[in-house]
Amino acid sequence: MPNLRTLQEIKDSIDARVSDSSTNPIVLEEALEIIKISLEDVIRHSGAAGKNSLIASQQLINILHEVVKSSLVNEGVNQNLIHPHIGQSNGEKTLAGFLKFKKQDICVFPNNKVPRIESVDFNGLYNTGTTEPYGELFSEHILSINVRSQLSSLSNNIDTMYERTYAEPLNLHRRLPKMVLGEVYLISVRELDAAQVTLNNPVYKPFTASTANYLEKYLKGFSALNLRTSQRDDDFKYERVALVVVDFSQSPVKIYTTTQDLINDNLLPANSTASMDNLNYHGLTRTLLDVYEKRFGFGILS
């Protein structure tokens, strides 16, 4: 029987790969393989407790952060303007929105603006005398991308998840209407079998009609929050959303990039109007940068 990796060994391996990404960039396909192998290994060693601990540690999602950072650099962004820097998980920036402060997973700072301390006690949940370190003008010129995942059942807390996803751009855009925001959301269409996981077996459940119905909700929901072009009535939208739909039960991991891919595997209800159009990860950073350059000009993030 092969040696089983402990939870700590898996975490150390992920940390080492993240650190190495400054000289050896991580692409989406590799990141998803790391997530699959890490989850399956920790289940074999530590069952449900290990799986839950690994997911809660946020280290799996940190792998995807590095994918986004690499994509930005590939599109000409100056890596020194990216926070946290490539290969680092700490150093996320917290920005002030209309209602509250919110930590951002990845920020690209402008090279032509200077931060200034400003008061933000005018509304929302701020206490009198509260200040923020960047100021409205600098903050509005930050490009921000957040990364989320749903690695359990698609039905889990879908309403709460969607309300949160809806509220986050609204909070920032109400104070910073020109700000360019992106969102990456990873979902697994094959749920791990909880009963088998408790027995240290990483076994995946089959597709069901319920899976297709919930996936349809995700597609329609995220499409409704995608491609913000106005700066008036659509504060709740992101300038670009990427929905990364994968099947971790396959080797290599299968990534669904088109609507037809989903239809071919019966992952959408019959005659569904849901679509993957403009939700594919590839093209996310280019679209965000195109919008940014149209609003603010060229060379500000390079």
Predicted confidence at residue 35, as pLDDT, reads 97
Predicted confidence at residue 169, as pLDDT, reads 96
pTM: 0.94
Distance CA 80, CA 70 (A): 12
| Chain-centroid distance, C-alpha 289 | 17
Each residue's pLDDT expressed in tens, for the chain with a length of 302 residues = 467 899 999 999 999 999 999 999 999 999 999 999 999 999 999 999 999 999 999 999 999 999 999 999 999 999 999 999 999 999 999 999 999 999 999 999 999 999 999 998 776 788 888 999 999 999 999 999 999 988 877 777 788 888 889 899 999 999 999 999 999 999 999 999 999 999 999 999 998 888 899 999 999 999 999 999 877 779 999 999 999 999 999 999 999 999 999 999 999 999 999 999 999 999 999 999 999 999 999 999 99
Give me 135's structure tokens: 């100021």
Residue 124 falls in which region: left (phi positive, over 0), alpha (psi -120 to 50) or beta: left
Q: What b/e string do you get for 258-269 counting C-beta neighbours within 10 Å, with b at 16 or more?
A: ebeebeeeebbe
Q: Dihedrals φ, ψ of 216, to 5°?
A: -60, -40
Predicted confidence at residue 32, as pLDDT, reads 98
Query: Which residue stretches of 141-239 are H helix?
Result: 158-175, 194-197, 209-224
Predicted confidence at residue 113, as pLDDT, reads 96
- Do the strands 93-96 and 118-119 form a parallel or antiparallel pair, or are they unpaired? unpaired
Residues linked to residue 248 through DSSP beta bridges, in sequence order: none
Burial class (CB in 10 A: 0-12, 13-18, 19+), 42: buried
8 Å CB contact between 82 and 106 = yes
